[in-house]
Amino acid sequence: MSHEFRIVFEPSGRSVFALPGTVVLEAAARAGFIIQTPCGGNGTCGKCLVNVRSGKCPPTDAEIRALGVERVAEGCRLACQARLTGPATIEIPDSSLFGAQQQILTADSGGPVAVVPRVRKHYIALGPPKMGEPLSDLERLRRRLPEGATRLAALRTLPGALRRSGFAVTAVEVDGELIAVEAGDTSSQCYGVAFDIGSTTLVGTLVNLITGADLALASRVNPQTSFGDDVVSRIQLCRTEPGGLARLQGAVLEAVNKMLDEVARKADVSRQNIYEVVFAGNTTMQQILCGVDPSALGEIPFIPAFRNAVEMRASDLGLHTYPEACVHVFAQIGGFVGGDTVAGIIATRLDEAVEPALLVDIGTNGEIVLAAKGRMLATSVAAGPAFEGARIVNGMRAAPGAIEKVIVNGDLKMNVIGNVKPAGLCGTGLIDAAAELLRLGVLDTTGRILAPEEAPASLPDPIKRRLIRGHGGEFSVLLAGPSESATGQPLLLYQRDIRELQLACGAIRAGINILLGMLNLKPGDLGSVLLAGAFGNFIRRSNARRIGMLPAIPCSRIRFVGNAASFGAKRALLSRVEKDYADRVFLSVEHVDLSISPDFQMEFAAAMMLPEADEAGDCGAE
Ligand code: FES
């Protein structure tokens, strides 16, 4: 594993280790930078521009064609084309980042957002009241504000704030409703937080509601995972255990509050100046967050408690913000297709796609939306936590020590996050390993790991020696020997790990196939497949296709759209137009419940089979 080298990304200084031949786009994603790829990584749009500040990164013909000899000589490269050959320092301009600034979310996603939040602050110098003018403090203030109600909390602070500050105050209103009055001019301090509440991961972004800029990000594992790693087990807890819902809600709210503390501290802003919080999550997560019993989601016909967006005050949830801050929970489509999918739709403008388009959010719960022929169909599949490294014997999350990439070069070569000894295998490493073993003929299409004597004669000896017979006669693949691994134990990929991967991929693929079938479409009809979710950004498209998780279409039609749920939540926070769009668009999505689909079991069984090489076809440039 010593052949990896360090790649530093400027201006942040964040670095990762990469194998020779790694595409810059992929290394950047590993460092947490999602670069926009409007042409699908074809090397034709020039939008994924980066600058090589030091180190070698030989230009390709496509880069010379797209950028010209002079710019290439200055170090300009296309992140989708440039391959790393040694240590390098690479600058990523803001304009190349996907969603780094709300103004630019790339041409084929939601487009620019004008910052018109619901929350507005008005600095108003009223001056002292005059004799003979019998108006109250509130009447004088309201004459300078849009029409609307006044909350008691604002009224309580009004007289004192006016008289402490020479009758000059800042009024905070949301859709005309006065929610706060602050002494003096605080109009520049106006913030909101957008949350993506995933079954496994929570992500919060603190946003400046005046400039639209991202100020700080926090993410952490959803503490509810300790009660069960999928939504079904959490619904079950609510159904069977008195106080189960309260425990789950308490766990997520505690984490949300810690994240609010964290982002405010990082950006050095007062939590009292956070006036709006937006949440997007799957149906179960949203209901638990609100303290709404999700038990009915555990029984046919899986009815959610609400579909329209829910509004409340921060004090209703005990959030660490201004207590009267508005809390907006996204509208949800159905039992297992929730607000995060609605957020994904508005972030990608899936409903406006000209050609058939598929949005796939890969997580413990995989959400799939197909937009075609003037309709939108959405479904959800239980992919399970294999992609998070769970239920995999040597699985782990994508953290230092995780094998995140596997390639073949005479032997299996592995990229380990943090360039340390490997401790386990994360989701992308698992997909890579399975795809490479399939290409080598070490896995057959049923997913069985073959014995060395059954493997093709062309199989290189170093790989043959990695095939180890276990107690039950099944074979495993040795990824690292005891002296190479962080644990001092052999690191093996077991037969049952491949089965878990087949279950996860089969569920996603079956969901895709059923939606396509409902609209009489074939995979080849898809103009684009948009991969969302933190995990989706790190997948090697050709490998996901090779194992049948994604349809066999050219890689250029498979695009990464980042954490679309987070982007959508942020758009709703920044713009009342986007919020209204989200509040409406869910009505045009048809919810497809696979649990009652007569075809699902058959599709699922078929999708569990790994494709033959000619079925998977050639993906084109990764
Ligand atoms: S040139 Fe279009 S994504 Fe790289």
Q: Which of 11-15, 199-203, 525-529 has the highest mean pLDDT?
A: 525-529
Please give the class, per CATH, of domain 191-339: alpha beta
- Decide whether 119-183 matches 191-339 in CATH topology: no
402 ligand 1 Cβ < 6 A = no
49 lines ligand 1 (CB under 6 A): no
pLDDT attached to residue 100 = 36
Q: What is the DSSP letter of 610?
A: P
pLDDT attached to residue 110: 52
Return the residue whose CA atom lies nearest to atom 1 of ligand 1. 43
- Find all residues with CB under 8 Å of 591, minimum gap 6, and list them: 333, 334, 335, 337, 378, 379
Of 107, 88, 91, the residue nearest 99 (C-alpha): 107
Q: 41: Cβ below 6 Å to ligand 1?
A: yes
pLDDT at 32 over 80: no
- Distance, in Å, from the CA atom of 74 to the CA atom of 577, rounded to the nearest integer, reads 42
CA atoms of 622 and 290, how far apart (whole Å)? 42
- Quick check: helix, strand or coil at residue 367? strand
> In whole angstroms, what is the distance from residue 543 CA to residue 404 CA?
13
pLDDT at 556: 86
Domain definitions of the chain by residue range: 5-96, 119-183, 191-339, 394-493
The pLDDT of residue 300 is above 70: yes
DSSP-derived secondary structure for 506-547: HHHHHHHHHHHHHTT--GGG-SEEEEESTTGGG--HHHHHHT
If one residue of 23, 33, 42 were mutated to test the ligand 1 pocket, choosing by the most ligand atoms within 8 A of its CB, it would be 42
Element (H, E) at 505: helix 495-518
Whether the per-residue pLDDT at 106 is higher than 50: the answer is: no
> What is residue 107's predicted lDDT score, i.e. its pLDDT?
29
Atom of ligand 1 nearest to the CA of 45: 2
Tell me, in angstroms, the distance from the centre of ligand 1 to residue 50's CA.
11
d(CA 228, CA 176): 43
What are the tens digits of pLDDT across the range 51-80?
999 998 899 998 998 888 888 998 999 998
Amino acid letter for position 214: D
Continuous H helices in 8-130: 24-30, 61-67, 69-73
Tell me what pLDDT residue 104 has: 26
φ, ψ for residue 380 (rounded to 5)?
Answer: -135, 140
Peptide bond just before 452 cis, omega within 30 deg = no
Residue 594: pLDDT band by 50, 70, 90 thresholds?
Answer: confident
Any idea which fold 119-183 has?
Ubiquitin-like (UB roll) (3.10.20)
Mean pLDDT of the chain: 89
Query: Residue 50: CB within 6 Å of ligand 1?
Result: no
Residue 2 has a pLDDT of 46
C-alpha 42 – ligand 1 centre gap (Å): 6
Model pLDDT, residue 435: 95
User: Phi and psi of 205, rounded to 5°?
Assistant: -125, 120
DSSP-derived secondary structure for 414-471? EEETTSS---EE-HHHHHHHHHHHHHHTSB-TT-PBPPTTTS-TTS-HHHHTTEEE-T
Mutational pocket test of ligand 1: of 45, 65, 560, the residue with most ligand atoms within 8 Å of the beta carbon: 45
pTM of this structure: 0.79
Give the Å distance between the CA of 189 and the centre of ligand 1. Answer: 38
Nearest atom in ligand 1 to 36's CA:
3
Instruction: Quote the CA–CA distance of 454 and 467 in Å, as a whole number.
Output: 11
Atom of ligand 1 nearest to the CA of 37: 3
Angle between helices 339-348 and 283-290 (to 10 degrees): 120
* Candidate from 26, 64, 78, 98 with most ligand 1 atoms within 8 A of CB, to mutate: 78
* Residue predicted with more confidence, 396 or 499: 499
How far, in Å, is the centroid of ligand 1 from the Cα of 497?
A: 35
* C-beta of 44 in contact with ligand 1 (< 6 A): yes
Give 396 or 369, the one with higher predicted confidence. Answer: 369
Q: 43 CB under 6 A from ligand 1?
A: yes
In whole angstroms, what is the distance from residue 326 CA to residue 277 CA?
6
Q: From its phi and psi, is residue 498 left (phi > 0), alpha (psi between -120 and 50) or beta?
A: alpha
Q: Give the fold, CATH level 3, of 5-96.
A: Ubiquitin-like (UB roll) (3.10.20)
Answer whether residue 312 shows pLDDT above 70: yes
DSSP string, 201-269: EEEEEEEETTT--EEEEEEEE-GGGGG-SSHHHHHHHHHHSTTHHHHHHHHHHHHHHHHHHHHHHHHT-
Residue with token string 């069984």: 605
Other CB atoms within 10 Å distance of the CB of residue 389? 20
Q: Given the CA of residue 62, which atom of ligand 1 is nearest to it?
A: 1
Whether 553 contacts 620, CB under 8 Å: no
Instruction: Please indicate whether residue 48, judged by its CB atom, sits closer than 6 Å to ligand 1.
Output: yes
In order, the DSSP letters of 153-171 are HHHHHHHHHHHHTTTEEEE
Nearest to 115 by CA among 106, 102, 134, 128: 102
Which pLDDT belongs to residue 622? 58
State the pLDDT at residue 101.
33
Q: Which is it for strands 357-361 and 528-532: parallel, antiparallel or unpaired?
A: parallel
108 lines ligand 1 (CB under 6 A): no
Token pair belonging to 235: 């619904």
Q: What's the rounded mean pLDDT across residues 92-97?
A: 78
Q: Which region holds residue 487: left if phi is over 0, alpha if psi is between -120 and 50, else beta?
A: alpha
Q: Quick check: CB of 45 below 6 Å from ligand 1? A: yes
Task: Give the pLDDT band (50/70/90) at residue 99.
Answer: very low
Q: Is the pLDDT of residue 614 over 80?
A: no
State yes or no: pLDDT of 1 exceeds 60. Answer: no
Q: Give the pLDDT mean for 374-382.
A: 93
| Contact between 373 and 348 (Cβ < 8 Å) | no
User: Does the CA dihedral 216-122-150-580 come out positive or negative?
Assistant: negative
Question: For residues 333 and 96, which has the higher predicted lDDT (pLDDT)?
Answer: 333
